[in-house]
Structure 1
Amino acid sequence: MEAAMEQSKNDLDSHSLLEFLEALKKASKDMQTNPIFITNDPQPSMESILNLESEVDTILSSDPNFFKLSQLLCNLKTLSEKLRRFQEHSLKSFFSRQITKCEIYQVAFTMEIEVQARIDKENVQNLVRTLEEVVDIEEEKVRVLKRFERRLSQGFDRDFQEVVLRGKVFAILESILCDSTRSTRVREHVAHTVVALVRFNRDVFVGMVLMSGIVQALIPMASCCSRQVVCSLVTLIRTPLIDEMGLRGEIPRIVSLFCSSEDLSIEVGTMDCICQIAYFGRMEVVESMLEKGLIEKLVELQRSTNGDNLIETHQSKEREMAVVGEEGERSGMEIDEIERDLPFAGCVARFSVQVEVGEGLGPAEKKEIKVEILRRIREASVSEAEAATIIAEVLWGSSP
């Protein structure tokens, strides 16, 4: 009980500190946003910072880590008093004011950097502390993960990266994602955070993903989110990740799981993932997918209620448009809606096109795979008419 109360107190102190730092950051940014030369007076923005002096004494004086920030605030106060002394209309006072304003701008700039560094450190510490809590408070974990992801989306920052690496954030994210007993919602947000880390700096975090068990943990997760994350990672890392997945037997596993869920969104996500793998994958990767019966599954999906009426619907829409041609123009939105309702219409051709326009195969390999795809289409089709229709789509969709 005492431990829980102490933790609650720490969280409250951390929250108050972050609020103070955010206010300080906003005030320092305002001093830089407003032009400071000639007629503009930085005093209003400075006063908003100096009004926080009581909080400064309470929060900063007790923590040696805030010594530099405390010094900057003292410098700002000194410059504020100095600026007040140069209010005469002489030429000397004019130049003295401009010099002092430049010094104020430099202090504000340095202060914003220092405050952001402190905010980043506090947020990362809070993230680590929250994620490592034994009690699985889902909402709080999701909240800190979203905040961390937003910070990553602001772009690369070497100092922030150093804080993340020192906090061993990636290892914590991996342990949560690989723990199937954890909340699915938390694991999904962790997965999105991993993608954000890779986008933040591929040079550092791609290697961590390749050496981790993250993709292996994502594949069995029966959710649309897990498929989207795998697809995003394949798009970002490309061939190195696909090669690693191939060595670990994960790509045939993805194909094996295809068509095993009743959730349409999961199947659509798996289809997107397979197409990305086909685009970047080498010859052996594409062959392994074909050997696992991918074309047969795609033919079955195209034959299903989620993919069998696209051509007929397009033709009927074209006939309707011809009839009402003089009554007004009809946008392509209706056909787009049909394609969303029938996500597997033309899916065999879609896969074939991804292979043919992709980066993983050479011209001779693409031709060899195309022949194999056509052969498997003929074998999987229930009639010559079905085979002819799908083959026509594949050939029509290929690049010249």
Structure 2
Amino acid sequence: MDHDDPSKHRVLTLLNALKEASKDLQIKTNPFTFLFKTDSKSAIEALLELESKAIAIFSTHPNLHNLSHSLTTLKTLIENLQNCKGYGLKSIFQRQIIAYKISQASSILESQIQIYLDRVIIINLVKTLQEHHQNEEEQVKVIVEFEQRLSKGFDLEFQDLILKAKVFTLLERVLIEPFSSKRVKEQSAMAIAELVKFNKNVFVGFAIQLEVGEGLSSDEKREVKLEILRLVKEASRSDAEFATISAEILWGSSP
């Protein structure tokens, strides 16, 4: 998805807002917090306001059909909760059950949105770095977005996307391509360092050695590794940060 396309940018903005709203609703309707009369009303209203905008947009995007279905399910559950009135034990118990279902549905919606956003991040990264005519700012932008996603912590589905797209190999290639700017190379090196922190057992365990450094000789692989370390050192904010990152890059890897 191209960030420069206004309509697609609106979709991404809506998705991010919807993800935050579903996360908030998930917390506010969790049975353990719901017992203590948390303000679930504001969370519900925020999501319903976004839902009316989202359904119209999602219905025209085939890749967002599952989100449209999840939103409809969530809206139905919210309506059931709002219609469940009374102060008897049966009514209270029913509200607890519905609140739990809303919390679960919100969690599913948040996960589905994140999966879609992750695909967009990987597609943009690969497309931008493969198109050599892209300007430096755009290249740095997509790499930074990728790093920010990695910094949120390990996610198996995101890792699968990274491996299938051969992102590690692509970042390595950027380091040795003569037409890559110094700034892009530095950011690529930092992205590789983030990948190592994301899951060092996979990305340096460099388990996927057949994919990492694909097509490179042993000497070329050594040169790439040294180039990564050199660029990471230049981009690191302190000697301590460089020492930590370089140790992670070298841990378990072959020369």
Instruction: State the TM-score bracket (shorter-chain normalisation).
Output: 0.7 to 0.9
C-alpha displacement at 1:64, in angstroms? Answer: 2.9
Cα distance in 1 between the residues matched to 2:82 and 2:134: 55
Structure 1, residues 123-181: CA drift from partner, whole Å, max 9, x if none?
A: 11122222222323111211221121121122211011011112221222122111022
Tell me, yes or no, if structure 1 residue 72 matches structure 2 residue 84. Answer: no
Structure 1 length-normalised TM: 0.53
Q: What is the percent sequence identity of the aligned residues?
A: 36
Change (3 A) 1:136 1:69: closer
SS at match of 2:34: coil
Which residue number in structure 2 is paired with residue 124 of structure 1? 122
Cα distance in 1 between the residues matched to 2:77 and 2:225: 56
Which residue number in structure 1 is paired with residue 223 of structure 2? 216
Structure 1, residues 244-266: CA drift from partner, whole Å, max 9, x if none?
A: 1xxxxxxxxxxxxxxxxxxxxxx
Which structure's relative contact order is higher, taking Cα pairs within 8 Å and 6+ residues apart?
2
Structure 1 residues 238-257: aligned runs within 5 Å: 238=250, 240-241=252-253, 244=255
Structure 1, residues 212-232: CA drift from partner, whole Å, max 9, x if none?
A: 246514646996645678966
Change (3 A) 1:41 1:222: closer
Cα distance in 1 between the residues matched to 2:113 and 2:188: 27
Aligned partner of 1:31 among 7, 25, 28: 25
SS at match of 1:177: helix
Which residue number in structure 2 is paired with residue 108 of structure 1? 106
SS at match of 1:52: helix
Structure 1, residues 346-390: CA drift from partner, whole Å, max 9, x if none?
A: xxxxxxxxxxxxxxxxxxxxxxxxxxxxxxxxxxxxxxxxxxxxx
Cα distance in 1 between the residues matched to 2:227 and 2:78: 61
Which residue number in structure 1 is paired with residue 239 of structure 2? none
Structure 1 segments unaligned to the other structure (5+ residues):
1-5, 245-400
Tell me, yes or no, if structure 1 residue 144 matches structure 2 residue 142. Answer: yes
Cα distance in 2 between the residues matched to 1:194 and 1:224: 11
Asked whether the equivalents of residues 193 and 245 of structure 2 are also in contact (C-alpha less than 8 Å), the reply is: yes
Change (3 A) 1:128 1:59: farther
SS at match of 2:94: helix
Which residue number in structure 2 is paired with residue 19 of structure 1? 13
C-alpha displacement at 1:186, in angstroms? Answer: 0.3
Cα distance in 1 between the residues matched to 2:55 and 2:110: 19
Q: Please, what is the CA RMSD of the aligned residues?
A: 2.9
Cα distance in 2 between the residues matched to 1:62 and 1:54: 14
C-alpha displacement at 1:185, in angstroms? Answer: 0.4
Cα distance in 2 between the residues matched to 1:7 and 1:113: 22
Change (3 A) 1:90 1:225: closer
Change (3 A) 1:74 1:182: same
More displaced 10-residue stretch of structure 1: 213-222 or 112-121: 213-222
* Structure having the higher Rg: 1
Cα distance in 2 between the residues matched to 1:25 and 1:221: 35
Number of equivalences = 237
